[in-house]
Structure 1
Amino acid sequence: MSLHQECQQPLVSIVIPTYNRPDYLKQAIASAIKQTYQNIEIIISDNCSSENPQAIVASFGDPRIKFWQHPQNVGMLANQQYGFNMAQGKYVASLHDDDIWHEDFLGKLVPPLEANSDLILAFCDQYIIDANGIINHAGTEENTRAYKRDKLAKGIYKSFSKIGLVDKSIPTAASCVIRNNLVDWYSIPSEVAGMWDLYLTYLFCISGYGAYYCPERLTRYRAHEQTDTMLSGSRDVQAKIRKAKSEMFCYQVFMEDPRLQEFRTHFQQKWLEANTTLGIGLLRSEQIAAARPYFWQALNQQKFNVRTMAALSLSFTPQFLASKLIGISK
């Protein structure tokens, strides 16, 4: 592509939040640099990693890269928000430090946004890869079906609340290009924490703008031992507690939004499930008194639920026996 053509392209800001993943980070940066769409800036926001990745960043020798390291750990959401807020591009896209983009990711998703000013975002499908970067083909197909992208036609969706918040078809944090000037990045409340991408999708859905879907798999999402959903032991318990609290906050907001009343029953069900999940997490961390109110709340607002009843029963079981049985309620 000629320099003149590059200058005609709008600037795209690629935000890479990172924390203690130097090897993966190097691959993520490389995939950003190799984009066929070249008018980019790459913003790397490091959340005070124990091993400073500045040397890795400098090794690329690319003047389009901007690096910032927080002097202390500010949390996942604040680190992500900092990167977004620094973005100068007309469009912005989040690239996780452990994920990889296909070289045509931006080249395929920016043009639809340029062609239609009524779109707030463009998104695509994704591959699932393991820790070594190998594609998990069965996992990829399962992921596409789970988020109903196999049923999603290519093109523009003027109203996409069901796609975004019920089916969760839009991978906002990993496979999405966003029109920058339509989002107040600091309007995302701290309570959403790790569920910031779901809350951001909510903001997109209520914006009045549309979305574009490209059914190609243009990103590679890495599932590995450092992913929250794959942690084990006490770290797994704490991750579940954090996630459940974030989900409860998000679904409470969704339930109360009059623009989303047609989906209120769904959001209420998800909120109740999060209550049970939080209770189970507290139970597993031996906070029995704190766990029970969440079980009662879930039971008071829904019909008989086996998972909730089993967890509540375990809270009245002697601790030594409950610890052997708690697995049925995970």
Structure 2
Amino acid sequence: MTPELPSAQRPWLSVVMPVFNGADTLAESIASVALQAEGIELVLVDQASDDASVAIAKSFADRIDIRIVSNPESSGWMENTNLAMSMARAPFATMLHQDDYWHEDRAAVLKAMLETYSEAALWVHGADYVDDRSHRIGTFAPPFGARRRLVPSAEAFETLIVQDTIALPAVVFRTSDYRMLAGLDETLWMTADWDLWLKLIGKGPLAWTHEKLVAFRLHRASLTLKGSRKLEDYRDQLDRALHRHLDTLAEAERARLEPLARSSNAINFWLASRYHAAGASISELLRIVLSIGPRRWGEFLRKTQLLQRVVPRLRLRKKK
């Protein structure tokens, strides 16, 4: 089976970008795509930015096939992404936020991956964590190994149900699959991408390469760090996405995976509480860890990539 190929006039990849007051980083983000833009379109949806975001985007019109859409009454990045995806012309699509950017040769690697693993339902690679000055402070990737391979759906699901370890800009998927699955759930402002990856895995295997092909920016103004201040909302976001996919499992599979997944959510909540100085106790953390059981600690650390996720955030916090 070969991948769906575009016509000469049709792009092979749509990059969808929701934007709101992104002037500080938007030029770096768009430029990283423009440098490898052959056969690529950028669909940017602006949410009534009152800074220079739109002007910056327009300045790239002679370097990349770009469409800029205004959606001033939007409910957030999920709605803007879904709107951009409704206008995507390419058979494949990827998301890019205003503060993240591509590394050199990402497009070339993706083309090779699409051709080699045409039966996949999503194509995934690693990412670098960078700070607000674009300095690398860590890496972000699921634990699928150090070689390119096709990861079976069951293996991908049982890893990602425990913890979303995929960076949002590090995924490519079929435009048709996204639309068939109704895109991002606009009620999940924190976990909509995790929910989408798990739905896509239900359609087929995951193509994987360990190469770090994008930069995922951590900074104090990011949605993840700002949103997690609302701790009960944050807990609800984690739990709703988890329950939705646990409920699809057979009883034996659920019994095996649920303790790890619930513990991961609990630790994420504990870490958010500590980051925002909300008084989470160390005894609560110990209770969570002990509930996993020592025989599964190694599996838990591997699937959650806990140290790889926490250390860059600690480095960022020290800069406050």
Q: Which moved more, 1:57-66 or 1:8-17?
A: 8-17
2:149 is matched with 155
Which blocks of at least 5 consecutive residues in structure 1 are unaligned?
A: 287-298, 309-330
Which of 228, 235, 241 is 1:244 aligned to? 235
What is the deviation of 1:158? 2.7
What is the deviation of 1:261? 5.5
1:218-256 deviations in Å (ceiling 9; x for gaps): 11111111123444xxx6522x33332111111111121
What is the deviation of 1:259? 5.8
Q: Check the 8 A contact 1:206/1:259 in 2, yes or no.
A: no
Q: Distance in 1 between matches of 2:78 and 2:151?
A: 28
C-alpha spacing 1:25/1:263, structure 2 compared with 1 (3 Å): farther
2:202 is matched with 206
Q: Distance in 1 between matches of 2:111 and 2:159?
A: 20
TM-score, normalisation: structure 1 = 0.71
What is the deviation of 1:191? 3.1
Which residue type is aligned with residue 128 of structure 2? Answer: Y
Which residue type is aligned with residue 109 of structure 1? Answer: L
Which of 207, 218, 230 is 2:213 aligned to? 218
Instruction: Kindly indicate whether residue 261 of structure 2 is the aligned counterpart of residue 267 of structure 1.
Output: no
Q: Distance in 2 between matches of 1:87 and 1:259?
A: 36
1:129 is matched with 130
Q: Distance in 2 between matches of 1:230 and 1:91?
A: 30
What is the deviation of 1:92? 0.1
What is the deviation of 1:53? 2.0
What is the deviation of 1:305? 5.4
Identity %: 21
The runs of at least 4 aligned residues of structure 1 exceeding 6 Å deviation read none
Q: Distance in 1 between matches of 2:252 and 2:23?
A: 44
1:124-164 deviations in Å (ceiling 9; x for gaps): 1111111011122xx23xx45xx435x35321113221243
What is the deviation of 1:167? 5.2
What are the residue-to-residue correspondences of 1:131-210 with 2, within 5 Å? Answer: 131-136=132-137, 139-140=138-139, 143-144=140-141, 147-149=142-144, 151-159=145-153, 160-166=156-162, 168-171=164-167, 173-184=168-179, 186-207=182-203, 209-210=204-205
Q: Distance in 1 between matches of 2:50 and 2:59?
A: 19
Q: Check the 8 A contact 1:245/1:274 in 2, yes or no.
A: no
How many residue pairs end up in the alignment?
Answer: 272
2:313 is matched with none
Q: Note the aligned Cα RMSD (angstroms).
A: 3.3
TM-score, normalisation: structure 2 = 0.73
Q: Distance in 1 between matches of 2:163 and 2:262?
A: 15
Which residue type is aligned with residue 43 of structure 1? Answer: V
Q: Distance in 1 between matches of 2:57 and 2:183?
A: 30
Which residue type is aligned with residue 154 of structure 1? Answer: R
Q: Check the 8 A contact 1:123/1:175 in 2, yes or no.
A: yes
Greater Cα radius of gyration, structure 1 or 2: 1
Which blocks of at least 5 consecutive residues in structure 2 are unaligned?
A: 1-5, 279-283, 292-320
What are the residue-to-residue correspondences of 1:269-284 with 2, within 5 Å? Answer: 270-271=261-262, 274=265, 277=269
